[in-house]
Amino acid sequence: MPYVDRVNRAIDAIVTGLDQPLRLEELSRTAGFSPYHFHRIFAALMGETIGQFVKRLRLERALSLMTRAPRRSLTDVALACGFASSSDFSRSFKQRYGVPPSRFDLAAWRERHREGVEETVRDAGVTAHIEKLPAGENPDGFEVQLRELPPRTVAYIRVLDPYRGTGVFDACERLLAWADARGLGDGQWLGYMWDDPEVTAVEDCRYDIAVELAEGAGAADGVAADGRATGGVAAEAVRRLPDGEVGVFRFPAMRVAQIEIRGGIDLELRALDWYYGTWLPTSGWMPDDQPAFEAFIGRPFALGYEDFALYAQLPVRREG
């Protein structure tokens, strides 16, 4: 898959730098292309120009912040998402959504997108009933464990439009084969999305299936989600691989609120509802600017798509 890894490098730079100025020349250099050719290649692979992609991600991140951190002012949201000012944010928001952010119906927007996710999952053959968990209720007995995680470097394959078809499973099988060949197959596996599926259209979501890498030359100096040591090749060795679909990304140290989940996607979605609707508002914590993780217990999807074992890890930081 030519150029996939290069374009993903640029996407990684975009999603982690949305609060900063993003220049075509710098993104092109990250991807290893001239600006002219990179602009064309990106549009061909992603279906939108770099400028359109960046603006959409900034607006969608703003929608997520407006929902997940409602105490933040619109000016704070605007600056956190890379807009030059609140007026610039309001103008861009109205151009895309038809109304200024102060008048936008967030609840209706999220409900429509959630219905789209549920419909897509049902079309994929998942028979579990997915029902939104009302705020304040916890019939599943979810319990949060706060954990401090060290920096994590991962090798990943990115899947576009992950809720449809078998793209995630297919990518997982390819990365498992890649990892087994390098002694990584029994390490810590992760799944994560930078997109919020209740904000971003299903077809625009991206899911990364990933395996954690050892940080140095030693093969067993990583730490898994449950405290196990991980083995495998050093991250530096992976960076020297020729271009392909396997990319490398380094996450900083972070604190996560973790819930153990053993069941289907309906249980995981209820856990996320409980995280955001019940636990977060009274916890003194707020979501950090990192994606939520699925930290698989054992190999990913070992029990299939309808039944799995994992830790749902939500990066958090103190309010204020």
Assign 3-class secondary structure to 125-153.
Answer: CCCCCCCCCCCCCCCCCCCCEEEEECCEE
Are 45 and 31 a contacting pair, CB within 8 Å? Answer: no
Instruction: Enumerate the domain spans of the chain.
Output: 4-103, 145-318
Beta bridge partners of 248: 155
Burial of 175 (0-12, 13-18, 19+ CB in 10 A): buried
User: Percent of the chain scored above 90 by pLDDT?
Assistant: 46
Average confidence (pLDDT) over 7-31: 91
Compute the mean pLDDT over every residue in the chain, rounded to the nearest whole number.
Answer: 84
Are 222 and 236 a contacting pair, CB within 8 Å? Answer: no
pLDDT band at 216 (very low <50, low <70, confident <90, very high): very low
Are 66 and 101 a contacting pair, CB within 8 Å? Answer: yes
Average confidence (pLDDT) over 235-242: 48
Please state, in angstroms and rounded to a whole number, the distance separating the CA atoms of residues 213 and 179: 10
CATH number assigned to the domain covering 4-103: 1.10.10.60
Same-fold call for 4-103 versus 145-318: no
Burial of 191 (0-12, 13-18, 19+ CB in 10 A): buried
Average confidence (pLDDT) over 87-92: 95
For 16-28, give one letter per residue: b (16+ CB within 10 A) or e.
bebeeebebeebb
The architecture CATH gives domain 145-318: Alpha-Beta Barrel (3.20)
**pLDDT number for residue 230:** 40
- Statement: residue 314 has pLDDT above 60: yes
User: Percent of the chain scored above 70 by pLDDT?
Assistant: 85
Please state, in angstroms and rounded to a whole number, the distance separating the CA atoms of residues 303 and 292: 21
Please state, in angstroms and rounded to a whole number, the distance separating the CA atoms of residues 158 and 162: 9
pTM for the full predicted model: 0.82
- Statement: residue 18 has pLDDT above 70: yes
